[in-house]
Structure 1
């Protein structure tokens, strides 16, 4: 990256936002997955200090009443919207996107943060495996439907952004299994492999979106770090987290694993959304709030795989992007 502020493992979301406050001011931002004790909520909390408006979302209206209330109290009278969005359901995604598109304001930044992590095999109402549906296909459709809203924020000096919160898990396995994506099979299902595939798909989508839009939209993916979020408290997730070595036998953080705090975990998302030094690096992967393309596995950075994934996912959702 060009000269300017330097960030590290210990950098917090507030640290990054303070540096880029002028970039955040006046922006309208949507963050998916904003339950309490989540990276998404911390991201929205910090952005709401300076942005024109922030839209938060969750799949259960009752569940995010508390985050919404807390955010409004901390937002210095800026506009906060709450959006019901279940990314595992095409119908819910379409309804939520229609609600946003009905608003008069443009959308400057879309942060695809929400994810289903290490869940049991289950088919969605659209016939997809839940983890890949929630983490990749749903955000892909949501981005497609909000593209006009994003393009409406563009000016000669500003290019709208889409951020995909991926993970170092993008390196797990051999990448997206296209057969499993289109024809999920419970006999072949593995929680960590499906998670890795979804996170690889995030990276590939971020690489292809700027190309497909011919530079009209910039996109980035990132590893937020290992953070003790609410995922670590879910009984169904704990055995998998123990098997991959992030939790010990006592369900506590495993020794030797460098965990970040929530403020540290949200830092890279805010850098991806607002660091102007990324303008000439569309599709970049970030870690510790800095470009880290060298950390991408070959299957998560292959342009041919990115193109194939895009085409297959458009087929699944039944429509194409229009820029």
Structure 2
């Protein structure tokens, strides 16, 4: 479906066949949805300066009542806080130390948020682990799976009461998962290795792609199980060139995908590359666009619903239910409403 431009707001347009991409920065999107952002309390995971999460937090903070920023490194988190307050003097910013790779750390962070007096309107899962070799966490979970899926699942579960407290007859709280188009470059979640990590079969990029599948499936199942009490969405922010993409085995994988050319530079022949502000635009859209209220569980790309582009293994209801049940087993507690 292609959304047009609303009469009272200038909104991003989706690429139409034969036309160029329309890359609107997150700031324009936040301005368009400023009425929806006002009086909202928002938590964004991984808000390191120079990243998509920071940019989303920055533009949201111009209008929101409260923005909770997170990171596992206290020094970098303080830099993010200072930078946000300098760029948006009116912003109400609150720091939260959060290590998504540790179930105990997630529980500690959730307890801190639950002690805040304010309800939580929007939870944005932006954090992702660095793609790398096999590594087990203290909970015996593969590190990328822990940071990108298990930790966010547990955090959502623990913050669910605070999210539900923000719901009204006119407003449904939202949970947003930053996924990736790369979800289609794997065969889906390997449920066996998710439960029993296997260093012999591990491949860093494939493990990353599987977590992006998990993000989409969790958004679908969360929306289904909440029965209208929470609207969850997943999204592809776009291809964005950062130093991270030039490390380890990542360049070779991106060349195979057609995202990098032979010289390991971004190629626009297959995919349109974006700046960080442009990448954060879809995050802000998923968090606040009122036109997707009736499309919970949807996947967004270029600021619009793009469910038709989701790979079958990432949209299968059976996979979504199986992943939910297995993740409950891994965290050791049920996620019910």
Pairwise TM-score range, normalised by the shorter structure: over 0.9
Is 2:323 the counterpart of 1:317? no
CA distance in 2: counterparts of 1:66 and 1:238, whole angstroms: 29
Of the structure 1 ranges 237-246 and 214-223, higher mean CA displacement relative to structure 2 is found in 237-246
Of the structure 1 ranges 56-65 and 258-267, higher mean CA displacement relative to structure 2 is found in 56-65
Of the structure 1 ranges 246-255 and 82-91, higher mean CA displacement relative to structure 2 is found in 246-255
CA distance in 2: counterparts of 1:52 and 1:235, whole angstroms: 41
Runs of 4+ in 1 over 6 A off after TM superposition: none
CA distance in 2: counterparts of 1:179 and 1:235, whole angstroms: 26
Is 2:102 the counterpart of 1:96? no
| Structure 2 partner of 1:42 | 55
Residue of 117, 137, 148 corresponding to 1:124: 137
Displacement of 1:198 in angstroms is 0.3
| Structure 1 partner of 2:227 | 214
Displacement of 1:159 in angstroms is 0.4
Residue of 89, 97, 100 corresponding to 1:87: 100
Displacement of 1:62 in angstroms is 1.4
Displacement of 1:240 in angstroms is 4.3
CA distance in 1: counterparts of 2:105 and 2:243, whole angstroms: 23
Residue of 298, 313, 326 corresponding to 1:299: 313
Normalised by the size of structure 2, how large is the TM-score?
Answer: 0.91
What are the Cα deviations for residues 168-201 of structure 1, in whole angstroms up to 9, with x where unaligned? Answer: 0111221000001001111101112111110000
Contact kept? 2:48, 2:71, Cα under 8 Å:
yes
What are the Cα deviations for residues 265-309 of structure 1, in whole angstroms up to 9, with x where unaligned? Answer: 000000000001111000000000000000100000000110000
Contact kept? 1:49, 1:74, Cα under 8 Å:
no
CA distance change for structure 1 residues 230 and 97 in 2, over 3 Å: closer, same or farther? farther
Displacement of 1:241 in angstroms is 4.1
What are the Cα deviations for residues 113-135 of structure 1, in whole angstroms up to 9, with x where unaligned? Answer: 00014221100111011111111
Residue of 13, 30, 40 corresponding to 1:7: 13
Specify every segment of 5 or more residues in structure 2 that has no aligned partner in the other structure, as ranges: 15-21
Contact kept? 1:118, 1:240, Cα under 8 Å:
no
CA distance in 2: counterparts of 1:122 and 1:171, whole angstroms: 24
Q: CA RMSD in A?
A: 1.7
CA distance in 2: counterparts of 1:103 and 1:213, whole angstroms: 23
CA distance in 2: counterparts of 1:106 and 1:50, whole angstroms: 17
Displacement of 1:16 in angstroms is 1.0
| Structure 1 partner of 2:194 | 181
Contact kept? 1:117, 1:237, Cα under 8 Å:
no
| Structure 2 partner of 1:110 | 123
For 1:115-194, list aligned pairs within 5 A: 115-194=128-207
Residue of 241, 247, 256 corresponding to 1:228: 241
CA distance change for structure 1 residues 252 and 183 in 2, over 3 Å: closer, same or farther? same
CA distance in 2: counterparts of 1:59 and 1:77, whole angstroms: 25
| Structure 1 partner of 2:29 | 16
Specify every segment of 5 or more residues in structure 1 that has no aligned partner in the other structure, as ranges: none
CA distance in 2: counterparts of 1:255 and 1:160, whole angstroms: 36
Contact kept? 2:12, 2:24, Cα under 8 Å:
no
Displacement of 1:230 in angstroms is 4.6
CA distance change for structure 1 residues 149 and 34 in 2, over 3 Å: closer, same or farther? same
CA distance in 1: counterparts of 2:250 and 2:116, whole angstroms: 37
Displacement of 1:225 in angstroms is 0.3
Displacement of 1:311 in angstroms is 0.3
What are the Cα deviations for residues 71-115 of structure 1, in whole angstroms up to 9, with x where unaligned? Answer: 112223221011111111101111111110010000000000000
Of the structure 1 ranges 56-65 and 121-130, higher mean CA displacement relative to structure 2 is found in 56-65
CA distance in 2: counterparts of 1:10 and 1:255, whole angstroms: 14
Of the structure 1 ranges 143-152 and 59-68, higher mean CA displacement relative to structure 2 is found in 59-68
CA distance in 2: counterparts of 1:239 and 1:124, whole angstroms: 26
